[in-house]
Amino acid sequence: MCTAYHLSKAGHQVTILDQSDGQTGASFVNAGYLTPSHIMPFAAPGMVSLGLKYMLSSSSPFYVKPRLNADLFRWAWNFYKSSNSVHVKKAMPIIEKLNTASSVLYHELHSNRNLNFHLEKKGLLMAYQTQKAKDHEQEVVLAAQAMGLRVTSLNPEEVLKLQPEADMDILGAFHYHCDSHSTPHEFMVAMKSYLLKQGVVIHNHSQVLNINTTGSVITSVETEIEQFRLDDLVVASGVWTKTLLKKIGIGLSLEAGKGYRINVNEPTGISVPAILMEAKVAVTPMKYFTRFAGTMELSGINTMIRKERVEAIARAAKRYYPSVEIPTNSKREAVSGMRPLSPDGLPYIGRMDQYSNLVVATGHGMMGWSLGPITGLLCQQIIDGVNPDIDLAPLSPQRRF
């Protein structure tokens, strides 16, 4: 959607092909965060051992379903090679720059009177119950502050003063003032309506079956009922990007990381977004409801709901917010979405050498929502031959791990 927005704004005729109904998926069920605070890549020291620790527990925050799959093994090996302090040091300023630029673009979109969607800037609480979690986050805080981000340390009384109607059972929290939050489905509906008015053509229920090429140029894509000729092709298809690229002989190291969300329509008193650190659960006060989201499940591309993972999120909510009740119907109506994970935690944004008119935009992991606008702008700049706002070399889809 954001890529279509920027391309249309630059004068291009844009057609979106979407295999879904345009109302489901990770773009609708995420935590809605705009996160300059999230400077750490998913591939970081300790993540491999954490994955091994939780591998056999399907209710754990980070669950890898054991399975014989060559692509998963290659991804896991690349993830292992990337999970080191040297990579983290290189990746943090890149992620911060992307997130900060994207947050600015979100607020610019929000100022457009023709785009009506919920967006607030109240920051983000990194709430902890143990000294170990506090010490771990303190390292991130120091790095964030060195980049110019404002972060303050709060005790429980200060958190309660900030959010008086939702008492938390915590040791304390770090308040990242730079973050904002939104209600995802509002943005998606508003953006789709706006794009249609701008002449963007959107085809839902349109799965791409074939990608036709002549030499090093992609000439058209085919769905079950129609063929679309093109000048440039942007593949921004989340976890399905790998499957689409295989059709033209391109391999991309990418895995699906499933997350879950629970919506609570009853009042919770929660007014400030928070990440419950030990439980790895995100809490967002969205428009008219509160969303509890979390878990990372590597089990392939599927939308199956594991009840034990939903229950784990609900238990975490109760543990950190003793007065909050998660109704049975909210748990029963929990849904999942799949984030596209690159092995090193950096997105893939750029052209592919094999085809001169192909641009790839995927692999954003848990920051896909936050990085949507900047990714769209970068794709437009690539296609128009404009010097991009951000160095794309570390984001190349053809980088080595």
- What is the pLDDT averaged over residues 166-176? 98
Nearest to 63 by CA among 315, 254, 310, 252: 310
Nearest to 204 by CA among 1, 19, 4, 2: 19
Nearest to 102 by CA among 326, 390, 294: 390
Q: What percent of the chain is modeled with pLDDT above 90?
A: 93
- What is the pLDDT averaged over residues 317-339? 97
Is 51's pLDDT higher than 80? no
Amino acid at 264: V
- What is the pLDDT averaged over residues 33-37? 96
Distance (Å, whole) CA 187 – CA 171: 35
What average pLDDT is seen over the chain?
Answer: 95
Q: Within its chain, how far is the Cα of 239 from the centroid?
A: 11
Both structure tokens of 284: 């967002």
Distance (Å, whole) CA 19 – CA 241: 12
Both structure tokens of 23: 């109302």
CB 202 within 8 A of CB 22: yes
For 109-157, write each residue's pLDDT tens digit.
Answer: 999 999 999 999 999 999 999 999 999 999 999 999 999 999 999 999 9
For 304-326, write each residue's pLDDT tens digit.
Answer: 999 999 999 999 999 999 999 99
Place of tokens 């029963």: 332
Both structure tokens of 287: 């428009």
Q: What is the CATH number of domain 27-198+238-349?
A: 3.30.9.10
- Name the pLDDT band for 352 (thresholds 50, 70, 90): very high
Per-residue confidence (pLDDT) for residue 146, from 0 to 100: 96
Per-residue confidence (pLDDT) for residue 46, from 0 to 100: 82
Distance (Å, whole) CA 122 – CA 78: 36
- DSSP state, residue 53: H
Distance (Å, whole) CA 31 – CA 182: 8
Distance (Å, whole) CA 84 – CA 201: 44
Distance (Å, whole) CA 278 – CA 270: 19
Both structure tokens of 118: 């919920």
Nearest to 44 by CA among 78, 91, 88, 96: 88
For 95-106, write each residue's pLDDT tens digit.
Answer: 999 999 999 999
- DSSP state, residue 1: -
Distance (Å, whole) CA 150 – CA 152: 7
- Name the pLDDT band for 358 (thresholds 50, 70, 90): very high
- Name the pLDDT band for 56 (thresholds 50, 70, 90): low
Per-residue confidence (pLDDT) for residue 60, from 0 to 100: 84
Contacts of residue 148, defined as CB under 8 A and 6 or more positions apart, other chains included, come to none
- DSSP state, residue 119: E
The beta strand positions in 5-129, using DSSP E, are 15-17, 33-34, 62-64, 119-120, 124-128
Q: Which helix (H) or strand (E) holds 135?
A: helix 131-146
Is 53's pLDDT higher than 80? no
Q: What percent of the chain is modeled with pLDDT above 70?
A: 99
- Name the pLDDT band for 267 (thresholds 50, 70, 90): very high
Both structure tokens of 33: 């965060």
Pairing between β-strand 62-64 and β-strand 289-298 as defined by DSSP bridges: parallel
pTM of the entire predicted model: 0.95
